[in-house]
Amino acid sequence: MDARYQPPVTPLDVVHADHEILVVNKPAGLLSVPGKGPDLADCLIARLQEAFPTALLVHRLDRDTSGVMVFGLTPHAQRHLGLQFEKRQVKKTYVARLAGRLEPRTGTVDLPLVVDWPNRPLQKVCHQTGRAAQTDWRVVSHGAGETRVRFMPKTGRSHQLRVHALALGHVILGDPLYAEGPARDFERLMLHSEELRLRHPDGGAGMKFRVKAPF
């Protein structure tokens, strides 16, 4: 992570709000929760709680990832949504731009992940001590030296999509942690949480929230 944290100064982008849940479009470069120290205090949950004092964290996105996040507005909603994530009932779709030409058109990465302690916060594949991690992918299009994909993670490990992309041999463009050389020279990490499908905590109705990638 960069030594200097310079979060974007942008207004809250609320996708949906009702009596139980709050759905927002997180900007790239903003922490989901505060880091250690006053210089890392500015984060999405803190900004949200200024406008929605009862907002409660349910899940996280990496600082460098943008896109759809859901928060509970009551303890019941937080528990209900948290269980959906824990039981892998929430369907998540991400859009990413990868270096190189990824083939075939679809596939699954099934590689366990663990923190790379000497190099944390980096994660790495480890078949001995790693936690199970699975990601389905589908190619959207091929461009000049890159591939646009949709990732459908079945698990929610830290840096899962970034490390699985690396394991495929096609890092996510603009990744400050895992990309090297020209693949790193982008204004942001080209990874966006495009869609969440979940059940509403009040009544269980299925809901879909989608925000198009800004890249």
The residue ranges of every structural domain in the chain are 1-87, 93-191
Contact 124, 113 (CB under 8 A): yes
Catalytic: which of 2, 42, 62, 175?
62
Are domains 1-87 and 93-191 of this chain identical in fold? yes
Domain 1-87, CATH among 3.40.50.2300, 3.30.2350.10, 3.30.830.10, 3.40.50.170:
3.30.2350.10
| Rounded distance between C-alpha atoms, residue 59 and residue 106, angstroms | 27
Give the mean model confidence (pLDDT) for residues 57-79: 98
| 42 tagged catalytic | no
Both structure tokens of 52 = 């929605």
Query: Would you identify the CATH topology of the domain 93-191?
Result: Pseudouridine synthase (3.30.2350)
Give the mean model confidence (pLDDT) for residues 153-171: 97
This prediction's pTM? 0.96
> Is the predicted pLDDT of residue 14 greater than 60, yes or no?
yes
> Is the predicted pLDDT of residue 184 greater than 50, yes or no?
yes
35: left (phi over 0), alpha (psi -120 to 50) or beta: beta
User: What pLDDT sits at residue 122?
Assistant: 97
- Count Cβ atoms below 10 Å from residue 81 Cβ, excluding itself: 25
* β-sheet bridge partners, residue 23: 16, 70
